[in-house]
Amino acid sequence: MESSNVPSPLDWGMWRAHTHATLMFIIKDGKILLIEKKRGLGAGKINGPGGKIDPGETPLQCAIRETQEELLITALGPRKIGELHFAMSDVPDILCHVYVAHDFEGVPTETDEAKPRWFRLEDIPYSQMWSDDVHWIPLMLSDRTFLGRFAFSDEEVAWFDVEEGVGFPSEG
């Protein structure tokens, strides 16, 4: 478990997410498919495809739908690998379900929302990503499940804790 050496600025036992969201990472042939996000929260950053869960939708359905909408591809065999709890300072708090898939159908295509970018696993552009990503993407690449909690101050991580080897129900 990796964590900050300072006390948490909030009581996580009382924490509740305002927004439920997803991220999908396609990892294939030693490369990871990321996006340049063109609009919404995190516009201009590199991230996985994803977005808010719609009413009546499961997290898995959301991750598949958002990947279809943003890149015009369908992830095959996605599996939940992690959960991220974000206590934000300037926008509503987010609980994000993270999925990994090792195959997909279709051709990754630029849309109004996103531009596809493949990166070699050793060249992930952390400096252009959310500042929490460096704390959990390496676990995801090692196929380790995780629960990450992050308290943000503006755009920077002020406190964090990442627990490994967490179990998730199979549908996720």
Ligand X SMILES: Nc1[nH]c(=O)nc2c1ncn2[C@H]1C[C@H](O)[C@@H](COP(=O)(O)OP(=O)(O)OP(=O)(O)O)O1
Interacting residues with ligand X (CB under 6 A): 19, 21, 23, 40-42, 47, 50-52, 86, 94, 96, 130, 132-133
- Closest CB to ligand X belongs to which residue? 40
Q: Shortest Cβ distance from residue 42 to ligand X (Å)?
A: 5
Q: Shortest Cβ distance from residue 79 to ligand X (Å)?
A: 17
Structure tokens at 28: 């294939």
Tokens 């909690």 correspond to 149
Nearer to ligand X among residue 50 and residue 116 (C-beta): 50
Which of these, 77, 81, 64, 71, lies nearest to 118 by C-alpha position? 71
Tokens 């600025």 correspond to 9
Nearer to ligand X among residue 130 and residue 146 (C-beta): 130
Give the separation between CA 156 and CA 172, rounded to whole angstroms.
28
Nearer to ligand X among residue 57 and residue 164 (C-beta): 57
Q: Shortest Cβ distance from residue 43 to ligand X (Å)?
A: 8
* C-alpha atoms less than 13 angstroms from C-alpha of 83 in its C-beta half-sphere: 14
Give the separation between CA 23 and CA 43, rounded to whole angstroms.
15
Q: Shortest Cβ distance from residue 26 to ligand X (Å)?
A: 14
